[in-house]
C-alpha cells in the first residue's frame, strides 16, 4: 500500500483527540479491503507462475525445481513492483522510452551479428547479451535523465517558451491608460480581440498606486481600471494572464518597461497613450490604439452632404460656430455664430483628419434661415438701396456684406 494511506491510518489511530466517526470508519474499512485485494493478487501471481513453470518444465528441470523457478520469477516481479511504486511518473515515462529505444538499437545490432560466420550458440549468446545490455542502458539512462524533468513545471516551461517567441497576433500587452479608459472591455466583449491579454505586474502596480492616490479623481480612475480588468477576466472567451516577472529592465518608467517586454515577447501593445504609440511604432513594434480604432469606426462624411447639428459655442474665427457629433467629432460651421444653442441645418464643405481625430467643416444651409429673418433682411436692404433701381435682392446681399465687413459712411 501507499505511504499516504498508511500515514492516514497512523494519524487516525494515534491521535488522542480523534473521535470515531462514520466517515473515518468507512475509510478504514475501504483501506482494509484494498490491502486484502492487493495481497490476494500477489498470492495469485506466485501460484500462477509456479503452476506454469511446473507444467512447462523449463531447462529440462524436475517438477519441484520448475515450480521453484516460477516462485523465484514471481518474487522478482513483486520486488520490481515495490521498487517502481515509489518512482516518479517522469522516471517511469523516461525509463519506458529509454528501454524501447535500447531494444530498437539492440535489434539493429542483432541484424549485423546474424550475418557473421560465428557458430549459432555464439550468435544466440551475443543476441541475448546485446538485447539485455541495450534495454538496461536505455531503462537506466532514460529514468535518470527524465528525473530532471518535473511534470508540474512542464506547463510553465512550455508557456515560457511560447512567450519567448510567440505569434505576434496572439499576445497583447495591456497598458494602464487603456484599462482606465474602459473601452477595451467593450471591444473584448464584442469578440473583436482574440489571443491572450497580458497584464504585467508593473502595470498592475501602477494601477494600484493610482487607485490609492490622495486625489479623488485619480483614485476614481484607478478603481475604474481595476474594475475593467476584473470585468475582462470574467469574460468566458477572453484569457487574461498576470505576468509576474515581465521586463528584464528593473529601472525606468512603465512605458519603457512595456516597450522592452513587447520586444522580448513579440507581442502587441494595447494603449491609448499617444507618446507610447509613437515610441513603440518608431521601434518597429505593433500597437493597437483604441483611439485610432474609435476614429476608424466614426461615420464617413463626404463634402456636400447635409447635416443637422446643435451649435454649442462660437469658434475662433469670426462668425464661426462649433458643434459636436454624438461620437465627439468637432464640427466647425461658418456663419453659425448667431445660432448658438440652436439646431441648424448645414452643408459639409470639407473633412480633415488630424492626429487628435477627425474635424468636419461646413456652412449654414440657406434653408436654416427663418422667414422672419429673411423678411427683416429684405426690408432693411430695400431701405438702404438708392432710387437708381437696385432690387431688394441686391440690397439684401449688400447688407449681408456690411454685417460681415462693416464699412464707414461715405463722406
Task: Tell me the per-residue pLDDT of 85-110, one tens digit each, with 9 for 90 and over.
Answer: 777 777 778 888 888 888 888 888 88
Task: Supply the mean pLDDT for the chain.
Answer: 76
pLDDT (0 to 100) of residue 39: 81
Percent of the chain with pLDDT over 90: 11
CB 74, CB 45: distance < 8 Å: yes
Residue 372, judged by CB atoms within 10 A of its CB (0-12, 13-18, 19+), counts as: exposed
pLDDT (0 to 100) of residue 155: 55
DSSP bridge partners of 270: 174, 288
If you average pLDDT over residues 222-232, what whole number do you get? 92
Reduced DSSP (H G I as helix, E B as strand, rest coil) percent helix, strand, coil of the chain, to 5: 60, 15, 25
* Helix or strand run (H / E) with residue 322: strand 320-324
B/e letters for 241-268, b = 16+ CB within 10 Å, e = fewer, are eebeebbeeeeeebbebbbbbbeebbbb
pLDDT (0 to 100) of residue 133: 86
Residue 47, judged by CB atoms within 10 A of its CB (0-12, 13-18, 19+), counts as: middle
How far apart are alpha carbons 82 and 174 in whole angstroms? 52
Name the more confident of 383 and 293.
293
306-368 matches 157-296 in CATH topology: no
Q: For residue 322, is pLDDT > 90?
A: yes
If you average pLDDT over residues 325-347, what whole number do you get? 88
How far apart are alpha carbons 104 and 98 in whole angstroms? 10
- The CATH superfamily assigned to 306-368 is Nucleic acid-binding proteins (2.40.50.140)
Name the more confident of 279 and 15.
279
How far apart are alpha carbons 264 and 242 in whole angstroms? 16
Residue 19, judged by CB atoms within 10 A of its CB (0-12, 13-18, 19+), counts as: exposed
How far apart are alpha carbons 170 and 266 in whole angstroms? 9
**Report field, pTM of the whole predicted structure over 0.75:** no
Strand ranges across the sheet with 239-243: 239-243, 196-200, 171-174, 268-271, 287-289
- Domains of the chain, by residue range, sit at 1-86, 157-296, 306-368, 371-404
- Single out the residue of 158, 265, 247, 162 nearest to residue 201, CA to CA: 247
pLDDT (0 to 100) of residue 270: 92
Percent of the chain with pLDDT over 70: 75
The matching CATH number, chosen from 3.30.70.20, 3.40.50.1010, 3.40.50.920, 3.40.1160.10, for 157-296 is 3.40.50.1010
Count of positions (residues) in the chain: 411
Q: Could you count the other beta carbons within 10 Å of the beta carbon of residue 179?
A: 28
pLDDT (0 to 100) of residue 151: 53
- Give the tens place of pLDDT for each residue, 364-377: 987 655 544 444 44
DSSP bridge partners of 351: 360
Least confident window among 154-158, 168-172, 215-219, 250-254? 154-158
* Helix or strand run (H / E) with residue 317: none
Amino acid at each position: 500500500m501507499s505511504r499516504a494511506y498508511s500515514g492516514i491510518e497512523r494519524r487516525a489511530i494515534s491521535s488522542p483527540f480523534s473521535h470515531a466517526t462514520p466517515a473515518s470508519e468507512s475509510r478504514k474499512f475501504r483501506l482494509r479491503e484494498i490491502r486484502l485485494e492487493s495481497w490476494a493478487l500477489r498470492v495469485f501471481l506466485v501460484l500462477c507462475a509456479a503452476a506454469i513453470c511446473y507444467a512447462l518444465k523449463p531447462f529440462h528441470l524436475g517438477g519441484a525445481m520448475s515450480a521453484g523457478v516460477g516462485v523465484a520469477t514471481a518474487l522478482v516481479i513483486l520486488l520490481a513492483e515495490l521498487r517502481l511504486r515509489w518512482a516518479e511518473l517522469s522516471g517511469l515515462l523516461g525509463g519506458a522510452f529509454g528501454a524501447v529505444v535500447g531494444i530498437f538499437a539492440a535489434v539493429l545490432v542483432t541484424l549485423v551479428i546474424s550475418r557473421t560466420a560465428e557458430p549459432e550458440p555464439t550468435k544466440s549468446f551475443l543476441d541475448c547479451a546485446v538485447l539485455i545490455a541495450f534495454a538496461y542502458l536505455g531503462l537506466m539512462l532514460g529514468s535518470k535523465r527524465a528525473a530532471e524533468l518535473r511534470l508540474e513545471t512542464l506547463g510553465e516551461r512550455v508557456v515560457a517558451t511560447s512567450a519567448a517567441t510567440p505569434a505576434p497576433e496572439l499576445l497583447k500587452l495591456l497598458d494602464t491608460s487603456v484599462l482606465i479608459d474602459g473601452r477595451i472591455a467593450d471591444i473584448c466583449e464584442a469578440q473583436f480581440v482574440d489571443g491572450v491579454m497580458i497584464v504585467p505586474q508593473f502595470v498592475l502596480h501602477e494601477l494600484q498606486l493610482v487607485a490609492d492616490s490622495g486625489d479623488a479623481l485619480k483614485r476614481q480612475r484607478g478603481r475604474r481600471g481595476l474594475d475593467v480588468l476584473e470585468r475582462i477576466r470574467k469574460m468566458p472567451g477572453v484569457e487574461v494572464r498576470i505576468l509576474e516577472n515581465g521586463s528584464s529592465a528593473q529601472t525606468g518608467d512603465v512605458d519603457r518597461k512595456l516597450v522592452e517586454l513587447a520586444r522580448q515577447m513579440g507581442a502587441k501593445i494595447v494603449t491609448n497613450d499617444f507618446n507610447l504609440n509613437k515610441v513603440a511604432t518608431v521601434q518597429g513594434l505593433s500597437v493597437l490604439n483604441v483611439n485610432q480604432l474609435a476614429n476608424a469606426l466614426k461615420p464617413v462624411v463626404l463634402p456636400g452632404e447635409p447635416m443637422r447639428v446643435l451649435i454649442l459655442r462660437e469658434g475662433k474665427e469670426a462668425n464661426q460656430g462649433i458643434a459636436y457629433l454624438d461620437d465627439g467629432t468637432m464640427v466647425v460651421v461658418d456663419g453659425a455664430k448667431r445660432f448658438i444653442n440652436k439646431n441648424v441645418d448645414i452643408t459639409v464643405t470639407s473633412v480633415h483628419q488630424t492626429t487628435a481625430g477627425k474635424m468636419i467643416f461646413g456652412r449654414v444651409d440657406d434653408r436654416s434661415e427663418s422667414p422672419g429673418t429673411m423678411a427683416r433682411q429684405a426690408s432693411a436692404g430695400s431701405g438702404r438701396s438708392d432710387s437708381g433701381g437696385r432690387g431688394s435682392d441686391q440690397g439684401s446681399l449688400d447688407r449681408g456684406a456690411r454685417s460681415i465687413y462693416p464699412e464707414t459712411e461715405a463722406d
